[in-house]
Structure 1
Amino acid sequence: MGTTRVMKEFLTYRNPGPLFLPKGKGFGHPTDTPIVLPSWLSEDEVNYYAAKFDKTGFTGGINYYRNLDINWELTAPWTGAQVKVPVKFVVGDQDLVYNSLGAQDFIHEGGFKKYVPLLEEVVVLEGVAHFLQQEKPDEISKHIHVFLKKFH
């Protein structure tokens, strides 16, 4: 498929369902289908990321998922730990993680608040996926600015 194609597919992924990569169809459609980049992503940016992964490959990032059991063991001492600072959580409604099994219920039905007791607000941006700081930079900056203004 090629590194550039993988980067374009990953950065523009907009399927809120579980990630499913059918054989021969990449991220759900034929790999010879052109990908139109959104306004927030340029060919130069894609080429930059692709050049970096051409040098290193994807193994480093994938190894995190291959080692989930070890990661759980390494972080076991912090099981049940709470984030005890004020928090505003911003996520896109098209984010793959937000749409993962049980994530929305955890965030909105009290599970998240259990571990982040000073959670002040959850903001779900419509039409935004995983790279929200690139997709909606002005909106994200505004959310950060408004949140931080409360502390001085």
Structure 2
Amino acid sequence: MSEEDLDVYAGEFERTGLTGALNRYRSMDRDWEDLAPHRGAPIQQAALFVGGALDASTTWMADAIDAYPTTLPALSASHVLDGCGHWIQQERPDEVNSLLIDWLARIQG
């Protein structure tokens, strides 16, 4: 990320704070309650997974990613980008956009 990019993000966090982002995490317990009736049900929606190899989520959730053929039967592709962390769209925007555009073109047929 360039210094200019970092300045934009820092400026927005200074302007708006982290309330929205933190509220997402505050709602996690509610998600478990709201989604309880669907526990164990596979997600049938067309899906694409793109993650970063340096993102802690792709390592501590490796079992979930390995289970995608069962839990996401409509997953058409899974990509883990080497040398990339959690913010894949900022770290590798051209590659992420290319993967998304190609995937959208395939599912629209």
Superposition TM-score, scaled by structure 2 size: 0.75
What secondary structure does 1:89 align onto? strand
Question: Could you say which residue in structure 2 is the equivalent of 1:106?
Answer: 64
- Residue 52 (structure 1) aligned with residue 8 (structure 2): no
Cα distance, 1:81 vs structure 2? 3.8
Instruction: Check 1:69–1:141 CA distance in 2 against 1; reply closer, same or farther (3 A cut).
Output: closer
* Mapping of residues 115-130 of structure 1, within 5 Å: 115-130=71-86
Cα distance, 1:107 vs structure 2? 0.8
Superposition TM-score, scaled by structure 1 size: 0.57
Question: Could you say which residue in structure 1 is the equivalent of 2:32?
Answer: 72
What secondary structure does 1:99 align onto? helix
How many residues were matched structurally?
108
**Cα distance in structure 2, aligned partners of 1:104 and 1:97:** 8
Instruction: Check 1:54–1:144 CA distance in 2 against 1; reply closer, same or farther (3 A cut).
Output: closer
* Mapping of residues 2-151 of structure 1, within 5 Å: 41-100=1-60, 103-108=61-66, 111-150=67-106, 151=108
**Cα distance in structure 2, aligned partners of 1:64 and 1:137:** 24
Instruction: Check 1:118–1:57 CA distance in 2 against 1; reply closer, same or farther (3 A cut).
Output: same
**Cα distance in structure 1, aligned partners of 2:27 and 2:47:** 29
**Cα distance in structure 1, aligned partners of 2:13 and 2:97:** 29
Q: Which of the two has higher C-alpha Rg?
A: 1
Q: Specify the code of the residue in structure 2 equivalent to 1:51.
A: G
User: Structure 1 unaligned runs (5+)?
Assistant: 1-40
Q: Specify the code of the residue in structure 2 equivalent to 1:83.
A: I
Identity of aligned residues (%): 35
Q: If each structure's helix is expressed as a fraction of its own residues, which one has the higher value?
A: 2
User: Structure 2 unaligned runs (5+)?
Assistant: none
Q: Specify the code of the residue in structure 1 equivalent to 2:28.
A: L
When the two chains are superposed, the root-mean-square deviation of aligned CA atoms in Å is 2.3
Cα distance, 1:67 vs structure 2? 4.1
| CA deviations over 1:74-132 (Å, ceiling 9, x no partner) | 333443343223322111101121122xx112212xx2222211122211111011121
